[in-house]
Amino acid sequence: MQTLTPPTKTTLSYTREDWTSGYRSQPEEFAYWIEDIDGEIPTDLVGTIFRNGPGLTDVNGYRLKHPFDGDGMINSVAFKDGKAFYRNKFVRTEGYVAEQKSGKCESRGVYGTQCL
């Protein structure tokens, strides 16, 4: 019978801080040309890639219990002429607009957040 010896040192490609940073709120909207690029973007690459997910994981400091209870944000990177343009925007649902106006959690989340 062969005995496997675990490695003595494991180097991870990520840290706990890297993972938890995905649960921080991003309260700002941006629109800018991406200038810090390694290599080059092919000039025939044309189009836009979209990503959606939570942008706010708290409402004025009130921490939501699950990231999916957060307000939605659409992120995009558009490619044209060897350049890339980034933009993000919140989805302006009735709940998002109401909470931005009142500054407090207004509705019950689907995944466990109970607003006071």
User: Which pTM was predicted?
Assistant: 0.76
Give tens-digit pLDDT for 34-48.
999 999 999 999 999
CA–CA dist 85, 33 (Å, integer)? 4
100 by DSSP, 3-state: which? Answer: helix
Give tens-digit pLDDT for 85-102.
999 999 999 989 999 999
CA–CA dist 15, 104 (Å, integer)? 32
Q: Which residue, 35, 31, 44, 9, is CA-closest to 89? A: 31
CA–CA dist 64, 58 (Å, integer)? 5
